[in-house]
Amino acid sequence: MHTERVTFLASPSEKARLFRRAEKLGVSSSEVVRRALNRGEEEAEEAEFADLVAEAKAAIPKIAESIERMTKRLEEMNRKDDEFLRKMGIGG
């Protein structure tokens, strides 16, 4: 992995918390920062996915109703076609 140095300012207490967390996790302070950055992206992706799932759940009943209407129309068309063919002496 290619890395670059990043310098940022933190208060003494923030710096101490960063190093305590790194020690507790058994990783470098840089790894703690990278994980925090990635966690934010993952949470944003999860929120976006949750929104898509909610939209899909809202759309499913409408889709089911449309399919039901289409099915009824097709059945009616088939019934009319069968009736027409019977009148023409075609089909059984």
Model confidence pLDDT, tens digit, residues 66-88: 999 999 999 999 999 999 999 98
Query: Which of 17, 16, 21, 43 is CA-nearest to residue 32?
Result: 21
State yes or no: pLDDT of 24 exceeds 70. yes
CA quadruple 3, 7, 12, 14: dihedral positive or negative?
Answer: negative
Q: What is the rounded distance in angstroms from the CA atom of residue 85 to the CA atom of residue 26?
A: 80
pTM of the prediction?
Answer: 0.46
State yes or no: pLDDT of 16 exceeds 70. yes
